[in-house]
């Protein structure tokens, strides 16, 4: 069965036939665990429908990764999947041009299902061992080296924002001025924003660390949000396109990056993705001299539990930090403009051309 198409009708019939044989022959109890009858798709359906799993922040990513894995192993009996087949899956996905981090994510999603199934006596130790035997591509130093480091310069962001379509501009500004995650931004509604108080109040239901968070609104962001259409109800989404809440930014962001002459893509050298705005916010805050505890209070990054008890951060600290950030970025833009204005104009007799592009 290894070489057969696991999604074919013939294979499905073979699976059903094997189930009947196993029952008729009354195999030993360890063989009659659900793993001997359950396909990986059935095991996946059981897992993703657990309420404790649905409430996890990475649930959509988990579903997506399992969908990819099940294209190959969905119709396979769980107990029949061999380590060599899992290794072959990794190799095949890499040959298809998939990033190592993506492949690791798909295999890890399958392992999560198997681990839970083992605890619930749906699969035995042998199946657990097979899946655990598959190693990740990115471990140790290679995993650290794969971490993204892209930070936008103020002049790069200016080009990005000016190139963006109307519905994307306010989303970019929100990410740039608050450091909020993409998922948090796209779930914002008018009940979470007070333009009068100049704050965004994120409920724990939409934050990654499952904690409430208050974020100050900069003058620039306030002006942007104040121009957006508002619904009658508080649950009306802030960011909309043709009257509906925006769910995905990738297509619009890719086109915007092309227009702004900024390389786009997670797995391209120095490529830009939306999450890099969060890193940019954190980096600019640090360069502006803001205390780390204040930065983490705004972004929701994990903080040191002991030191935080003696270093409380309030909203006024955050407001001052945002103001200092704005001043820092303004100085950066001014310095670039001054450099361009003072650059000598190359003549025809000059030996070399002098570039006035600060990004070169």
Separation in Å, CA 144 to CA 101, 141, 149, 211, 242 = 11, 5, 11, 27, 41
Among 29-38, 62-71, 206-215, top mean pLDDT goes to 62-71
Claim to verify: residue 170 and residue 111 sit in the same structural domain? no
Range of the domain at 110: 9-145
Claim to verify: residue 75 and residue 172 sit in the same structural domain? no
Instruction: State phi, psi for 201 to the nearest 5 degrees.
Output: -110, 105
* 3-state SS assignment for residue 16: helix
Claim to verify: residue 196 and residue 131 sit in the same structural domain? no
4 found inside a domain:
no
Among residues 145, 164, 192, which one ends one of the domains?
Answer: 145
pLDDT band at 1 (very low <50, low <70, confident <90, very high): very low
199 found inside a domain:
yes
Confidence (pLDDT) at 205: 84
Confidence (pLDDT) at 239: 96
CATH of residue 227's domain is 1.10.443.10
User: For 11-20, 28-37, 67-76, 191-200, which range has the lowest pLDDT when averaged over its residues?
Assistant: 11-20
> Once rounded to an integer, what is the mean pLDDT over residues 176-193?
94
Confidence (pLDDT) at 344: 55
Nearest-10 crossing angle of helices 59-73, 40-48: 170
> Once rounded to an integer, what is the mean pLDDT over residues 222-237?
92
Claim to verify: residue 138 and residue 238 sit in the same structural domain? no
Cα angle 223-181-256, degrees, rounded to a multiple of 5:
65
Mean pLDDT over all residues of the chain? 83
322 found inside a domain:
yes
**Residues 118 and 127: beta-carbon distance below 8 Å:** yes
Claim to verify: residue 206 and residue 324 sit in the same structural domain? yes
pLDDT band at 231 (very low <50, low <70, confident <90, very high): confident
* % the chain with pLDDT above 70: 78
pLDDT band at 59 (very low <50, low <70, confident <90, very high): confident
Q: Which helix (H) or strand (E) holds 200?
A: strand 199-202
pLDDT, tens digit, 9 for 90 and up, residues 87-113: 999 999 989 888 788 899 999 999 999
Provide the CB-side half-sphere exposure for 150 (13 A, CA): 22
CATH of residue 40's domain is 1.10.150
pLDDT, tens digit, 9 for 90 and up, residues 247-287: 889 899 999 999 999 999 876 778 999 999 999 999 999 99
17 found inside a domain:
yes
Claim to verify: residue 179 and residue 257 sit in the same structural domain? yes
List the structure tokens of 94: 């890499």
- Count Cβ atoms within 10 A of the Cβ of residue 135 and give its class: 0-12 exposed, 13-18 middle, 19 or more buried: exposed
- Does position 142 have pLDDT exceeding 70, yes or no? no
Claim to verify: residue 292 and residue 232 sit in the same structural domain? yes
CA-CA distance, 9 to 27, in Å (whole number)?
A: 26
Separation in Å, CA 220 to CA 176, 192, 216 = 11, 18, 12
Confidence (pLDDT) at 270: 85
Claim to verify: residue 307 and residue 210 sit in the same structural domain? yes
> Once rounded to an integer, what is the mean pLDDT over residues 181-203?
94
pLDDT, tens digit, 9 for 90 and up, residues 148-174: 789 999 999 999 999 999 999 999 999
> Once rounded to an integer, what is the mean pLDDT over residues 124-143?
81
127 found inside a domain:
yes
Helices within the chain (DSSP H only): 9-25, 40-48, 51-54, 59-73, 83-95, 100-119, 125-132, 140-145, 154-163, 169-178, 182-186, 219-226, 250-260, 276-287, 292-299, 305-309, 315-342
User: For 47-56, 132-141, 217-226, 268-277, which range has the lowest pLDDT when averaged over its residues?
Assistant: 132-141
List the structure tokens of 140: 């140790």
pLDDT band at 237 (very low <50, low <70, confident <90, very high): very high
CA-CA distance, 241 to 181, in Å (whole number)?
A: 19
**Residues 178 and 215: beta-carbon distance below 8 Å:** yes
pLDDT, tens digit, 9 for 90 and up, residues 288-314: 999 999 999 999 876 554 445 445 678
Q: 121 vs 222, which has greater pLDDT?
A: 222
**Residues 297 and 318: beta-carbon distance below 8 Å:** yes
* 3-state SS assignment for residue 300: coil
pLDDT band at 37 (very low <50, low <70, confident <90, very high): confident
CA-CA distance, 350 to 54, in Å (whole number)?
A: 66
- Does position 24 have pLDDT exceeding 70, yes or no? no
Among residues 113, 145, 177, which one ends one of the domains?
Answer: 145
pLDDT, tens digit, 9 for 90 and up, residues 304-351: 544 454 456 789 999 999 999 999 999 988 887 666 555 554 444 443
> Once rounded to an integer, what is the mean pLDDT over residues 236-247?
92
Q: Which residues contact 8 (CB under 8 A, 6 or more apart)?
A: none
């Amino acid at each position: 069965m290894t070489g057969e198409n696991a999604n074919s009708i013939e294979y499905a019939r073979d699976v059903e036939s094997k189930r009947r044989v196993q029952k008729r022959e009354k195999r030993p109890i360890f063989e009659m665990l659900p793993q001997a009858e359950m396909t990986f798709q059935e095991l996946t359906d059981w897992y993703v429908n657990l309420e404790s799993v649905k409430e996890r922040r990475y649930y959509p990513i988990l579903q997506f990764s399992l969908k990819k894995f099940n294209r190959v192993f969905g119709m396979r009996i769980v107990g029949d999947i061999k380590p060599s087949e899992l290794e072959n899956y990794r190799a095949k996905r890499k040959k298809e041009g998939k990033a190592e981090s993506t492949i690791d994510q798909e295999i890890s999603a399958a392992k999560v299902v198997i681990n839970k199934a083992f605890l619930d006596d749906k699969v035995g130790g042998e199946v657990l061992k097979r899946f655990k035997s598959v190693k990740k591509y990115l471990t140790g130093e290679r995993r650290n080296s794969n971490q993204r480091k892209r930070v936008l310069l103020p002049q790069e962001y200016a080009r990005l924002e000016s190139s963006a379509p109307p519905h994307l501009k306010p989303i970019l500004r929100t990410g740039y001025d608050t450091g909020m995650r993409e998922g948090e931004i796209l779930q914002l509604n008018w009940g979470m924003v007070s333009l009068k108080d100049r704050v965004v109040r994120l409920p724990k239901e939409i934050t990654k660390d499952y904690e409430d968070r208050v974020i100050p609104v900069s003058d620039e962001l306030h002006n942007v949000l104040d121009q957006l259409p508002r619904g009658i109800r508080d649950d009306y989404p802030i960011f909309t396109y043709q009257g509906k809440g925006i769910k995905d930014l990738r297509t619009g962001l890719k086109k915007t990056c092309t227009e702004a002459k900024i390389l786009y893509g997670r797995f391209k050298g120095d490529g830009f993705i939306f999450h890099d705005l969060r890193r940019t916010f954190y980096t600019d805050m640090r360069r502006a001299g803001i205390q780390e505890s204040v930065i983490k209070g705004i972004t929701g990054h994990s903080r040191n539990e002991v030191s935080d008890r003696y270093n409380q951060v309030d909203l006024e600290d955050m407001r001052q930090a945002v103001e200092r950030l704005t001043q820092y970025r303004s100085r950066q833009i001014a310095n670039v403009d001054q450099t361009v204005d003072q650059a000598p104009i190359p003549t025809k007799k000059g030996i070399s051309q002098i570039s006035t592009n600060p990004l070169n």
